[in-house]
């Protein structure tokens, strides 16, 4: 995968979906504005959408008391040689098995132990022992476990595939609000969307995606990551994308373990996942698995770097996977913008290369030019996958001695070619060209106005102890009084602003560093984009004139120091991924802190960077659909239409002069939200394992649990303000969206200080109510919560803000609909959920026109009658928790609901047979199609739900192997459990391209796979079945990594009104009772003649589909159709005899029976 996000989508299946193709990670020093439904992510400078697993949230802080004396990396670490006598190793006694390196600085809240070693072949390794919560367990697996492992290895791995990510239910719809993991406030970076620029905060998708992300953060015990210090910069000129392609190919079997999907199958069998990504100067591989199988997984994984097969037969098939990944990336404005930016580099600089690779560069062109791709691939591996370029991190519940023994034994076999690591540091100033300092007008795929101002600076890595760009971005991205965004919002010119430098190789490498400011503009802001740019330049000039302020620097230090000191633990696989890259960048003592802490205040370093941010050195990129028809240039690889021009002369002359400062722009005041009280509070009621209801009145109820496990001075507050008013009409749903967005807009300035002080909040427009989510240090948390409720109680809007938000909401709805995957989900849920208002319904209601008066009337009615349900957890007493609910009730002064209301939709009962709903995609420039085949089960028990989880675990790897690896149908291929408003089902989804396949061919192949899978599980051995059951049990037994995970799980029970807080225990008991025949019979029952099957096809544009209307992606038009309506397509002869067409969803569903409301609690 070329580029955390993201963290994967709901269907991500480890390496496969998470990414394998593009350089980049998440924004590093990113101060961001959060405005839901306002496409705020669209403004992020150079987000890296294709690498969901690579986004890292970075904070900066200073912790002087923790800084050791600097030591050279080579002197600090110990050299471990294969077969060395541990008792003779320098730095510790052989009788002590878990002593870490004192040079490595860590947080006082971090219970893990660390040790650095360097193997004889030059590979550097960081060993992380996490023995917390071990309760006396020893570090090594028992002999019995090893024997069991050997027995399982005798089974065919393909018989017991499992995927931890898709084993959980897809909780849709109103449940979507129940879902928020600890990263909920960083979802622009994470989340899982495939594209940061294209990431709408779409509540239609959010819950199930976060549920999968949450599962990933709770299910992993042991993890490893390896960073090769070489990336796409090393691509040969005649084989663009080779580094990325190699990252794919090493997964395809090794000399010791020759099965193509053997490693993935092994991980799925034992509750694990894997991923990889290629950046400009680094390539990262990572995996996680149950602790019991960690050693064997390490051995299998290490073969990627010892002796991968990379057989010729696999080349063409995996090229198709790379090409599909590229095709999926093409409709992304982030990728297009980034590729265009790279093309501005000086000729010969590696930034101008095509890092993705596709069928043209890796197959067709090489064949035409008599280039042996297979031979060159092996050459590239031998030259660049050398041990002395590699940094390895392993984390497990083993002693450091055990981990050192394993790493030395396994990874010492990686060859060292003795050649110097490629160095690009001499290729500085790649953008010191006439083409850079221009205005570029770009036609985006989505409806958006955005201005990005970029400077290319000298590499800043050497200044990591000062982090000058972090200091600057903290001020530029501020949203409080006196900030750029505050000023632009008051003029209704901008909705969001992102400023800073990302950690992606694209934004920071050995040749340059980028500083970008990206602003999401309103329609008015687009008309005044030069004035917007001038405001930015005025603010920067003000900073340059004032010079660095020690007060500001120390405030950032204090905030980040608090967060570092009381940090919560993170998902091991994300942690090791981060650490293996840190090892490439920082000395030993700063492995854990180099990317976070501000160590030294050096105003001259900050000033040097700040003084380069002048108009004369800036590159301006203006994205807008209004540019269509005015752009005469086209970027080669993504087909982006653009034009290049000089900055308008009057502005150019003004910016050369000593222009006046703006008196409305100034530095932020001292932050009143910074916590100073970190005492842990005493219990004022009996300790409980699960939340208890401590308030229950007609107006609301409150669930509460005092934390006594993680012992950190933080708290989580969640409230659901439920109202039957929202779903009464499509117009009401839209008014509710507008209301929540304006409320968020109104809070942006007053709440921003709390936000930067690690008090985080989010307002979510749920299906049935307003969700308020607040978390952070408990000391000042009540101030933020009361501020939110005050603004809710006194809600108002000006006509200008109303117009601004509604215009932006139109763009958001439009941008959701033009993505095939989100349209497919909208269509499926519109069929299944009675009384659901589709995104198209909402878009039409908004386009028909709504008034400010209607909004204020709606809000008044909404606030007048509610039921409020809350959950408070963490370092807070029961008395304080009750005060939160009391404040809501007193401040809003609402009446209770006349009758209890469900927070679910009713679901239709599909008739027997195979129904097909086939519609056109809404973007004629997009070749991507989405095919989902869904099997409805019905109102089932918790036991049957757990059985379905087990089924999907078995299904995932063979599904991937058949549909992607062998059939090469698409890049995204996955089965999913689906819990649709309490009604169970499962589905198989394939993302394909109309330039390669007809959607009905894909549908037939899915059916072919399911038929083969039925035979596969029928022949499953009892041992293989029991192994899979054990794997799922182990996943459910894993302890939470941090408080947020426990809160998420409890909140999901509250917001869905199921209240089964010990659900995992019930599911484990159910798993222990299953037999193989239960699984086989359940699957056959849902695949037989009476099965209820629904296929949803969203059909892209290409030669195998809609040929008469096709406009190939990136050629004559990049824009989506303006008419937002479903166009139903006829069934071809391929499926006409085996399916029943749906050509009018409302007509079809009006004849169906409704299933009763159902909760999966028994």
Of 1135, 1132, 1106, 1133, the closest CA to residue 1121 belongs to 1106
Number of residues that this document lists for the chain: 1162
Say if CB 175 and CB 720 are below 8 A apart: no
Q: Can you tell me the mean pLDDT for 801-829?
A: 95
* pLDDT score, position 1123: 58
Per-residue pLDDT reduced to its tens digit, 672-726: 999 999 999 999 999 999 999 999 999 999 999 999 999 999 999 999 999 999 9
pLDDT of residue 98: 79
Decide if pLDDT at 151 tops 90.
no
pLDDT for the residue numbered 344? 96
- Taking only the tens place, the pLDDT of each residue in 81-136 is 433 333 333 333 344 577 889 999 999 999 999 999 999 999 999 999 998 765 44
Beta-strand runs (E) in 69-140: 78-80, 113-119, 124-129
The edge-to-edge listing of strands for the beta sheet with 273-278 is 78-80, 113-119, 124-129, 390-396, 222-228, 283-289, 273-278
pLDDT at 1059: 97
- Helix axis angle, 603-610 relative to 468-476, nearest 10°? 60
Structure tokens at 572: 């091991």
For residue 50, the model assigns a pLDDT of 39
pLDDT for 1138-1161, tens place per residue? 999 999 999 999 999 999 999 999
Helix (DSSP H) and strand (DSSP E) numbers for the chain = 35, 28
Task: Determine which of 446-450, 665-669, 672-676 has the lowest per-residue pLDDT on average.
Answer: 672-676
Please report the pLDDT score of residue 375 as a whole number: 97
Least confident of 479-488, 518-527, 964-973: 964-973
What pLDDT does residue 221 have? 79
CA distance 285 to 89: 29
**pLDDT tens-digit series, residues 1065-1124:** 999 999 999 999 999 999 999 987 889 999 999 999 998 886 544 343 333 444 444 557
At the top level of CATH, which class does the domain 913-920+927-1149 belong to? alpha beta
Strands 619-624 and 494-500: unpaired
Residue 1002 has pLDDT above 80, yes or no: yes
pLDDT band per the 50, 70, 90 thresholds, residue 217 = very low
Band the pLDDT of 402: cuts 50, 70, 90: very high
**Mean pLDDT for the stretch of residues 29-44:** 29
- Please give the distance of CA 349 from its chain centroid, rounded to a whole number: 30
This prediction has a pTM of 0.81
Q: How far apart are CA 167 and CA 175, in angstroms?
A: 17
The DSSP annotation for 123-171 comes to: -EEEEEE--TT-TT--SSPPHHHHHHHHHHHTS-GGGG---TTTTSEEE
The reply to whether domains 692-818+837-892 and 913-920+927-1149 share a CATH topology is yes
Structure-token pair, residue 1126: 């479903």
User: What mean pLDDT is reported for the chain?
Assistant: 85
Instruction: Give me the pLDDT at residue 133, please.
Output: 64
Lowest mean pLDDT among 34-38, 97-101, 588-592, 613-617: 34-38
Q: Write out the catalytic residue numbers.
A: 247
- Under the banding of pLDDT at 50, 70 and 90, the label for residue 824 is very high
Torsion-angle region of residue 455: left (phi > 0), alpha (psi -120 to 50) or beta?
beta
pLDDT at 40 over 90: no
Report the candidate in 1114, 993, 47 with the shortest Cα–Cα distance to residue 501: 47
Which of 8-17, 106-115, 371-380, 940-949 is predicted least confidently? 8-17
Q: Which residues, 6 or more positions from 657, have their beta carbon under 8 angstroms from its beta carbon? A: none
Query: Is the backbone of residue 136 left (phi > 0), alpha (psi -120 to 50) or beta?
Result: left
Of all residues in the chain, the percent with pLDDT exceeding 90 is: 77
Minimum mean pLDDT among 96-105, 212-221, 304-313, 1005-1014: which range? 212-221
Tokens in use for 171?
């909780």
Residue 933: name the closest of 892, 992, 889 by CA: 992
Query: Does the pLDDT at position 651 exceed 80?
Result: yes
pLDDT band at 15 (very low <50, low <70, confident <90, very high): very low
**For tokens 């239709």, what's the residue?**
908
Nearest by Cα to 569 from 53, 52, 1051, 1039: 1039
Amino acid 197: pLDDT: 32
- Closest alpha carbon to 250 in 239, 236, 264, 238: 264
Encode pLDDT of 728-782 as tens digits.
999 999 999 999 999 999 999 999 999 999 899 999 999 999 999 999 999 999 9
Q: Return the domain boundaries, the chain.
A: 692-818+837-892, 913-920+927-1149
- Which position has the higher pLDDT, 925 or 620? 620
pLDDT at 2: 62
Q: Poorest-confidence range of 99-103, 146-150, 372-376, 516-520? A: 146-150
pLDDT over 90 at 1026, yes or no: yes
pLDDT for 558 beyond 60: yes
Q: What is the CATH number of domain 692-818+837-892?
A: 3.30.830.10
Which pLDDT value is given to residue 519? 98
């Amino acid at each position: 995968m070329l580029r955390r996000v993201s963290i994967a989508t709901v269907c991500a299946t480890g390496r496969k979906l998470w990414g394998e193709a593009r350089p980049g990670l998440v924004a590093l020093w990113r101060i961001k504005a959060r405005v839901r439904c306002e496409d705020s992510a669209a403004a992020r400078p150079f987000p890296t959408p294709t690498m969901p697993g690579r986004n890292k949230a970075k904070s900066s802080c200073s912790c002087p008391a923790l800084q050791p004396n600097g030591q050279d990396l080579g002197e600090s670490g110990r050299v471990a040689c294969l077969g060395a006598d541990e008792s003779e190793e320098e730095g510790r006694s052989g009788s002590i098995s878990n002593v870490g390196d004192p040079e490595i600085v860590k947080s006082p809240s971090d219970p893990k132990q660390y040790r650095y070693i360097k193997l004889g072949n030059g590979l550097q390794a960081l060993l992380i022992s996490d023995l917390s919560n071990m309760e006396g367990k020893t570090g090594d697996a028992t002999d019995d476990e090893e024997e069991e492992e050997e027995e399982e290895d005798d089974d065919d791995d393909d018989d017991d595939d499992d995927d931890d990510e898709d084993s959980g239910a897809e909780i849709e719809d109103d449940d979507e609000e129940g879902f928020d993991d600890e990263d909920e406030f960083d979802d622009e970076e994470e989340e899982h969307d495939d594209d940061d620029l294209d990431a709408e905060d779409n509540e239609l998708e959010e819950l199930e995606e976060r549920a999968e992300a949450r599962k990933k953060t709770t299910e992993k015990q042991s993890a490893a990551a390896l960073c090769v210090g070489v990336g796409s910069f090393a691509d040969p000129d005649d084989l663009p994308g080779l580094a990325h392609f190699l990252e794919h190919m090493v997964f395809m079997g090794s000399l010791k373990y020759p099965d193509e999907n053997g490693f993935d199958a092994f991980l799925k069998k034992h509750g694990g996942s894997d991923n990889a990504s290629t950046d400009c100067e680094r390539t990262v591989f990572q995996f996680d698995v149950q602790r019991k199988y960690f050693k064997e997984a390490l051995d299998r994984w290490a073969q990627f770097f010892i002796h991968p097969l990379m057989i010729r037969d696999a080349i063409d098939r995996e090229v198709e996977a790379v090409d599909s990944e590229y095709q999926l990336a093409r409709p992304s404005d982030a990728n297009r913008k980034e590729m265009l930016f790279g093309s501005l580099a000086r000729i010969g600089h590696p930034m101008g290369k095509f890092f993705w690779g596709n069928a043209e560069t890796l197959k067709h062109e090489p064949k035409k030019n008599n280039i042996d791709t297979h031979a060159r691939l092996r050459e590239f591996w031998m030259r660049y996958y050398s041990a002395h370029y590699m940094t390895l991190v392993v984390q497990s519940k083993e002693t450091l001695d055990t981990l050192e023994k394993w790493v030395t034994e396994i990874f010492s076999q990686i060859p060292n070619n003795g050649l110097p690591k490629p160095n690009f540091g001499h290729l500085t100033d790649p953008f010191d060209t006439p083409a850079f300092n221009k205005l570029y007008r770009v036609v985006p795929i989505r409806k958006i106005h955005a201005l990005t101002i970029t400077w290319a600076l000298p590499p800043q890595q050497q200044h990591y102890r000062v982090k000058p760009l972090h200091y600057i971005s903290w001020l530029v991205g501020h949203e409080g009084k006196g900030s750029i965004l505050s000023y632009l919002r008051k003029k209704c010119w901008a909705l969001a602003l992102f400023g800073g430098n990302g950690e992606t190789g694209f934004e920071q490498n050995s040749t340059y560093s980028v500083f970008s400011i990206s602003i999401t503009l309103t329609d008015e802001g687009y008309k005044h984009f030069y004035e917007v740019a001038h405001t930015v330049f005025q603010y920067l000039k003000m900073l340059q004139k004032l010079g660095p302020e020690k007060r500001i620097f120390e405030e950032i230090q204090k905030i980040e120091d608090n967060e570092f000191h009381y940090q919560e633990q993170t998902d091991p696989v994300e942690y090791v991924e981060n650490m293996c890259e840190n090892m490439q960048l920082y000395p030993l003592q700063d492995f854990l802190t180099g990317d976070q802490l501000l160590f030294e205040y050096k105003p001259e370093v900050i000033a040097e960077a700040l003084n380069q941010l002048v108009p004369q050195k800036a590159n301006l990129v203006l994205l807008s659909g209004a540019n269509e028809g005015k752009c005469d240039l086209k970027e080669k690889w993504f087909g982006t239409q653009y034009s290049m021009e000089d900055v308008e002369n009057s502005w150019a002359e003004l910016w050369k002069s000593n222009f006046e400062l703006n008196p409305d722009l100034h530095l932020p005041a001292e932050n009143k939200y910074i916590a100073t009280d970190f005492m842990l509070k005493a219990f004022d009621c009996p300790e409980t394992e699960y939340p208890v209801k401590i308030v229950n009145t007609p107006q609301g109820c409150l669930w509460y649990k005092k934390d006594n496990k993680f012992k950190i001075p933080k708290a989580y507050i969640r409230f659901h303000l439920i109202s039957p008013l929202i779903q009464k009409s499509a117009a009401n749903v839209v008014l509710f969206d507008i209301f929540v967005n304006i409320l968020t807009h109104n809070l942006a300035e007053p709440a921003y200080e709390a936000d930067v002080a690690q008090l985080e909040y989010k307002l979510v427009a749920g299906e049935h109510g307003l969700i308020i989510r607040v978390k952070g240090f408990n000391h000042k948390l009540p101030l933020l919560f009361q501020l939110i409720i005050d603004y809710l109680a006194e809600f108002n809007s000006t006509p200008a803000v109303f117009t601004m938000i509604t215009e932006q909401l139109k763009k958001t709805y439009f941008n959701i609909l033009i993505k095939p995957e989100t349209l497919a989900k909208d269509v499926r849920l519109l069929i299944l959920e009675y009384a659901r208002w589709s995104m198209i319904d909402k878009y039409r209601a908004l386009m028909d026109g709504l008034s400010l008066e209607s909004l204020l009337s709606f809000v008044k009615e909404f606030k007048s009658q509610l039921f409020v349900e809350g959950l408070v957890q963490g370092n807070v007493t029961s008395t304080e928790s009750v005060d939160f609910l009391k404040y809501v009730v007193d401040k809003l002064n609402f009446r209770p609901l006349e009758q209890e209301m469900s927070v679910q939709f009713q679901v239709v009962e599909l008739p027997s047979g195979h129904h097909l709903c086939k519609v056109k995609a809404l973007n004629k420039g997009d070749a991507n199609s989405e095919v989902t085949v869904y099997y409805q089960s019905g109102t089932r028990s918790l036991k049957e739900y757990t059985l379905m989880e087990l089924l999907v675990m078995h299904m995932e790897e063979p599904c991937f192997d058949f549909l992607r690896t062998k059939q090469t149908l698409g890049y995204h291929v996955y089965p999913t459990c689906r819990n649709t408003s309490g009604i169970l089902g499962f589905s198989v989804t394939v993302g394909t391209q109309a330039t390669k396949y007809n959607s009905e061919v894909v549908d037939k192949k899915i059916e072919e796979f399911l038929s083969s899978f039925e035979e596969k599980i029928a022949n499953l051995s009892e041992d293989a079945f029991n192994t899979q059951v054990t794997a799922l049990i182990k996943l459910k037994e894993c302890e939470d990594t941090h408080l947020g995970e426990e809160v998420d799980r409890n909140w999901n029970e509250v917001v869905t009104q199921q209240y089964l807080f010990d659900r995992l225990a019930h599911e484990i008991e159910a798993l222990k009772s299953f037999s193989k025949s239960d699984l086989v019979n359940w699957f056959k029952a849902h695949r037989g003649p009476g099965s209820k099957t629904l296929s949803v096809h969203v059909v892209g544009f290409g030669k195998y589909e809609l040929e008469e209307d096709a406009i190939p992606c990136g050629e004559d038009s990049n824009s989506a159709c303006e008419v937002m309506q479903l166009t139903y397509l006829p069934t071809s002869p391929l499926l006409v005899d085996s399916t029943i067409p749906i050509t009018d969803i409302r007509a079809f569903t009006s004849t169906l029976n409704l299933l009763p409301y159902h909760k999966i609690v028994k």
